[in-house]
């Protein structure tokens, strides 16, 4: 039986870090194609020519890549792992004795010069351009979807509704300052709108005011999509080329359906402007299947492979549009209780026209529980008449596309299904 030997350190060691990193290691493959030669030139305007020496920006980016590749979300842990792991040290060009920067350096640079210079966006687009040169991006078929990222915000620090001014008792942190600046920018845009403004937005309904606003991160949306039952979160919208599943663009939004659908236009137009990619088709789930979304894609020559939202049979015990009779000459709907519903002429931002019933007619109607859940005496029973027709109109155009492409080998159209 062997006996434990006392630790007797040698005075000299023959050690070469290059020999201790396996040839098939992931970081070796990344290092072989990673080119950060232009990094310092792009960041030069954001550094001062005076003061103490700064941390090498290439070192910080290489460390961040290590964190992304190995799921190190904590910057403190990233610094500790880089200090201990030989492969990480080799990839970051630290050698055995190189000092690892403090974790606070990452936050200051990420929210400072890295953000001001749009460095991460440039690096991302450079990677996409290299994938295109390598023939990995087809550019004909895209898919879009969103992943939920939970915000670092407590569920207990919230307030009902939307805030336009911040409570004086609350601290103005960086996320709060950015939120208030975005509100001012939005107000300025609304004031400066002209007839030439771009009103060709795809979402089917205007975004509703948030029910809850976080006092820690007010931009985050209150949602039940995350791992927890409810909480504040963001949605990361990925536009993916279907040839080799290469992500060609990404956009972060609050975790709201309307924001995620609106991001579709942003990523498609940006991809076209940056890389000249004009997809012939777009695949998505039913959340993107509103009539206006389908119409926007069709007008831009993109065939939607998206299940259409069909709520005709999603009644939940309530009357549907088919239960109301419309008189086009009188422009009046008749409800199942033989009472008229009239329009005020209002056309909503999403193109729908509401028809309202009289409070007097609804108050004593025995069919009222099947029209509305409200118990108020000011009941309004709306019938939206254009959304369904708008969906069907674009479905007719979509059907023409499907018929034209039916002979293509391997083409499998997505069915129209009911929204669950």
Take residue 322 and report the two structure tokens written for it: 């088919």
| DSSP-assigned beta bridge partners for residue 355 | 383
The CA distance from 150 to 223, in Å, is 10
pLDDT at 349 over 80: no
User: Closest by alpha carbon to 234, among 150, 111, 145?
Assistant: 150
Question: ∠ at Cα 185 (179, 186), nearest 5°?
Answer: 90
Q: Which residue has the tokens 């509703």?
A: 208
Task: Return the residue matching tokens 């299904």.
Answer: 417
Could you read off the pLDDT of 297-345 as tens digits, one per residue?
A: 888 889 999 887 666 555 667 777 777 888 888 888 888 888 888 888 7
Residues of the chain with pLDDT > 70, as a percent, come to 71
In the numeric block, the tokens 């845009």 are attached to: 189
pLDDT at position 223, please? 84
Region 370-388 average pLDDT: 50
Give me the pLDDT at residue 227, please.
Answer: 66
Task: Say how many C-beta atoms besides its own lie within 10 A of residue 237's C-beta.
Answer: 22
pLDDT tens track for 299-308: 888 999 988 7
Question: Which pLDDT tens digit goes with each residue over 64-84?
Answer: 999 999 999 888 999 999 999
Structure tokens at 98: 């190189």
Burial code (b: 16+ CB inside 10 Å, e: under 16) for 75-111 equals beebbebbeeeebbbbbbebeeeeebbeeebbeebee
With cut-offs at 50, 70 and 90, classify the pLDDT of residue 420: very low
**CA-based torsion, 211, 215, 220, 226: positive or negative:** negative
pLDDT value for 153:
83
Instruction: Read off the pLDDT of residues 183-214 as tens digits, 9 standing for 90 and up.
Output: 655 554 444 443 433 445 444 445 567 778 88
Task: Note the pTM of the prediction, 2 decimals.
Answer: 0.69
Structure confidence by residue, pLDDT tens digits, 113-159: 888 888 889 889 999 999 999 999 999 999 999 998 888 888 888 87
Half-sphere exposure of 224 (CA within 13 A, CB side): 1
């Amino acid at each position: 039986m062997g006996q434990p030997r006392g630790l007797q350190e040698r005075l000299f060691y023959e050690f070469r870090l290059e020999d201790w990193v396996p040839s098939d290691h992931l970081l070796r493959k990344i290092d072989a194609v990673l080119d950060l030669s232009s990094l310092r030139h792009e960041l030069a305007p954001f550094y001062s020519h005076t003061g103490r020496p700064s941390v090498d920006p290439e070192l910080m980016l290489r460390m961040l890549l290590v964190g992304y590749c190995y799921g190190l979300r904590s910057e403190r842990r990233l610094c500790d792992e880089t200090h201990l792991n030989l492969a990480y040290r080799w990839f970051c060009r630290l050698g055995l004795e190189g000092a690892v920067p403090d974790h606070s350096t990452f936050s200051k640079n990420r929210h400072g010069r890295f953000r001001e210079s749009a460095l991460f966006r440039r690096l991302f687009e450079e990677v996409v351009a290299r994938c295109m040169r390598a023939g990995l991006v087809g550019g004909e078929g895209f898919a879009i979807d969103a992943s939920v990222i939970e915000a670092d915000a407590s569920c207990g620090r919230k307030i009902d509704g939307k805030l336009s001014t911040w409570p004086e008792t609350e601290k103005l942190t960086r996320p709060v300052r950015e939120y208030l600046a975005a509100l001012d920018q939005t107000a300025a845009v609304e004031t400066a709108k002209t007839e030439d403004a771009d009103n060709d937005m795809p979402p089917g309904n205007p975004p509703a005011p948030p029910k809850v606003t976080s006092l820690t991160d007010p931009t985050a949306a209150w949602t039940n999509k995350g791992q927890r039952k409810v909480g504040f979160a963001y949605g990361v919208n990925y536009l993916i080329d279907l040839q080799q599943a290469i992500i060609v663009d990404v956009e972060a939004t609050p975790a709201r359906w309307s924001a995620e659908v609106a991001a579709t236009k942003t990523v498609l137009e940006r991809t076209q402007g940056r890389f000249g990619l004009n997809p012939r088709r777009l695949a998505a789930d039913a959340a993107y299947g509103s009539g206006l979304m389908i119409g926007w894609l069709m007008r831009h020559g993109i065939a939607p492979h998206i299940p259409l939202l069909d709520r005709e049979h999603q009644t939940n015990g309530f009357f549907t549009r088919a239960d109301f009779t419309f008189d086009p000459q009188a422009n009046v709907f008749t409800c199942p209780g033989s009472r008229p519903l009239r329009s005020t002429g209002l056309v909503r931002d999403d193109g729908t026209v509401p028809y309202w019933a009289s409070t007097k007619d609804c108050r004593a109607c025995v069919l009222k529980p099947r029209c509305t859940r409200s118990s108020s005496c000011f009941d309004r029973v709306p019938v939206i008449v254009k959304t369904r027709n708008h969906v069907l109109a674009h479905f007719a155009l979509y059907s023409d596309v499907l018929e034209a492409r039916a002979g293509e080998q391997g083409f499998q159209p997505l069915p129209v299904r009911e929204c669950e």
